[in-house]
Amino acid sequence: MKILAINPGSTSTKIGLFEGTTEVFEKTLRHSAEELAPFGAIVANQKEFRKEAILAALEEAGVKASELSAVACRGGVLKPIAGGTYKVEDAVIADLLEAQIQHPASLAAIIGKEIADENGIDAFFTDAPVTYELSELASFSGHKAIKRKGRFHALNQKAIARQFAEDQGKKYEDVNVIVCHMGGGITVGAHMGGRTVDVNDAVSEGPFTPERSGDLPTRELIDLCFSGEYSHAEMKAFIQGKGGAFSYTGSIDMREIEEKAEAGDAEFQLVTDAMAYQVSKQIAAMGAVFGGEKIDGILLTGGIAYSKYITAEITKRVEFVAPVTKFPGEVELEALVLGTLRVVNGEEAAQTYA
């Protein structure tokens, strides 16, 4: 059973071909700014360009689209839904095309469904970024006018939680874990009974990240908004894009920041330690969500989990909550395929997007 996995990014499209659970090949198709410029700000305009690049890569690998059994797509900008695997249907495509937020991830299902339809197969997406499973208590923000969104790295968080559960000889639904994904965004999720019952919003909450501000003092933030010094767009960048470690160091590369800290730069060292401190505090706070139930593990994942220093700093602060296990990097393509296989093999039913 050949499954094509599609995961588009801003300037690249990562694809993988799997024979069952075995990866046959993986390739990252790079798209230059010059190539993407003619399509403007609407990501759907890139559909044919990226689709042709994907099919060309398959052909180059000696694979015909007609040989595929299914297409596994990254989830896009949809309305909040529960986690799981969904068949890509017309309602999904309609909402992706009408979404106000332009995100390249939305191209996966649009392209995937076309390839699937042309070859008489189905396309699926698993654990979309809009996965929303917050408990009723967790949904409270502190003001009635604002409901917490809880956008997070659902695909990788849930995949790592499943991997941990399997390593323990258990099912995902039977473990209590705190998963911390650390990359350009940092999210810490409490996973209970197969659901992420609480998690910080990747854009506006939680620890500061390489380029996001996370939690900020709200009074001071309001003052900045009305100071006349910043436009609406500049304030958006203040919290996402030019916030976090970048605002302190001028760099979004944690490897560079850590290298300068190791070389003796006191400011870079302090920023590194402050990030580890805030992540640790978020993890420890999530421990309260479980209401005294045993927590099976704290799982550190994402690109920053490769850092021995940062993970060691976090571990020494939070291991009193539960044992810490590192899963550096991400397994998104594999997670998409495994989600599709669970449905195709009858292990779980495909959810319906409505």
Domains and CATH numbers, the chain: 2-130+333-344 (3.30.420.40), 140-322 (3.30.420.40)
Q: What is the mean predicted confidence (pLDDT) over 144-167?
A: 96
Q: What is the mean predicted confidence (pLDDT) over 238-262?
A: 96
Higher pLDDT, 100 or 317: 317
Residue 328 dihedral angles phi and psi, to the nearest 5°: -65, 150
Nearest Cα residue to 256 out of 243, 278, 271: 271
At 41, is the pLDDT very low, low, confident or very high (cuts 50, 70, 90)? confident
At 303, is the pLDDT very low, low, confident or very high (cuts 50, 70, 90)? very high
Q: What is the mean predicted confidence (pLDDT) over 150-175?
A: 97
Q: What is the DSSP letter of 136?
A: T
Asked whether residue 316 carries a pLDDT value surpassing 90, the answer given is: yes
Nearest Cα residue to 208 out of 246, 236, 261, 255: 246
Count H helices and E strands in the chain, helices first.
Answer: 12, 13
Q: What is the mean predicted confidence (pLDDT) over 147-156?
A: 94
Q: What is the mean predicted confidence (pLDDT) over 56-82?
A: 96
Asked whether residue 10 carries a pLDDT value surpassing 90, the answer given is: no
Judge whether 159 and 210 are in contact, CB under 8 Å.
no
Nearest Cα residue to 114 out of 91, 95, 88, 96: 88
Judge whether 58 and 91 are in contact, CB under 8 Å.
no
Q: How far apart are CA 336 and CA 129, in angstroms?
A: 13
At 228, is the pLDDT very low, low, confident or very high (cuts 50, 70, 90)? very high
pLDDT-wise least confident of 86-90, 99-103, 217-221: 99-103
Tokens standing for residue 177: 């874990």
pLDDT tens column, 102-144: 889 999 999 999 999 999 999 999 999 999 999 999 999 999 9
Side chain identity at residue 336, one-letter code: L
pLDDT tens column, 274-300: 999 999 999 999 999 999 999 999 999
Asked whether residue 22 carries a pLDDT value surpassing 90, the answer given is: yes
Looking at residue 101, its pLDDT comes to 82
Run of H or E residues at 250: none
